[in-house]
Amino acid sequence: MDIAKLIFKLDELKTKQSHIDETWQKTGNKAFLGFMTELLPMALQAERCSIFISNPDDNSVWIQCGTGVKEKQITVPGKDSVVGEVIATGKKIIDNDLKKRIGVHDLIALKTGFIARNTLCVPVLDRQTHMTAGAIQLLNKLPAGEEFSGEESALVEKLALHMQINIGNLFLSQEMANATIEMGKEIERLEDKLLKQSVLL
């Protein structure tokens, strides 16, 4: 394929990716979910809040939005994590002593320096399929030494009911998200190939 055709193909891919990205950004009202991750830590005196989406294709869980993190910045396996367990069982977890639990949070602590002391995590069901589409997780009750309570869990569970449509839409639209990622990889590959061919000319 000559350079002119590569440039044309690259422009086509960028246009398609832009359209997919635009559509994906409208899925699930992400601005609302982001607002919730800002509001919940203030309302319940927690250090961090994150919303996770289940990916049944590879049995993983990825972060949609959260305190100090970007979309898909964190992906954890469906097992050996509190969030994975909540999604697998469809049952909430309150663990006020994470030091006794060995799991993914230990690896995240090593990589980021953020140490999770305790957590409150509740499942979010998809209204259409009734599958566990995601989870809302709060970390580190403030001030340090305080514990998450059953009353706080009940409040987050009520919120999870109101977020079913938003998180369910993201859960059901993951093919779009995966297409965006694959499209980005293809564009990078073509750009790299185009750059190398330009250097040779």
Q: What is the pLDDT of residue 105?
A: 67
Number of domains forming the structure of the chain: 1
Task: For residue 71, tell me if it sits in a domain.
Answer: yes
Task: For residue 77, tell me if it sits in a domain.
Answer: yes
In terms of C-beta density within 10 A (0-12 exposed, 13-18 middle, 19 or more buried), how is residue 155 classed?
middle
Task: For residue 163, tell me if it sits in a domain.
Answer: yes
Res 113 pLDDT > 80: no
Closest CA to 47 of 141, 113, 150, 152: 141
140 vs 187, residue with greater confidence: 140
Q: Using one digit for the tens of pLDDT, what is the confidence trace for 47-101?
A: 999 999 888 777 888 888 888 888 777 887 777 789 989 999 999 999 999 888 8
Three state DSSP letters for 99-126? HHCCCHHHHHHHHHCCCCCCEEEEEEEC
Q: What is the CATH number of the domain that holds 79?
A: 3.30.450.40
Residue type, position 177, single letter:
A
Q: What is the pLDDT of residue 2?
A: 61
Task: For residue 13, tell me if it sits in a domain.
Answer: no
- Span 1-16, mean pLDDT? 63
Q: What is the pLDDT of residue 188?
A: 75
- Span 27-50, mean pLDDT? 87
Q: What is the pLDDT of residue 81?
A: 86
Q: What is the pLDDT of residue 131?
A: 86
**Binning pLDDT at 50, 70 and 90, where does residue 20 land?**
low
Q: What is the pLDDT of residue 102?
A: 75
Q: Using one digit for the tens of pLDDT, what is the confidence trace for 116-139?
A: 899 999 999 988 788 899 999 999
The residue range of the domain holding 83 is: 45-185
Q: What is the pLDDT of residue 77?
A: 75
- Span 155-184, mean pLDDT? 77
Task: For residue 190, tell me if it sits in a domain.
Answer: no
Res 35 pLDDT > 70: yes
Task: For residue 66, tell me if it sits in a domain.
Answer: yes
Task: For residue 2, tell me if it sits in a domain.
Answer: no
Q: Sign of the CA dihedral 173, 174, 180, 183?
A: negative
This prediction's pTM: 0.72
Task: For residue 126, tell me if it sits in a domain.
Answer: yes
92 vs 201, residue with greater confidence: 92
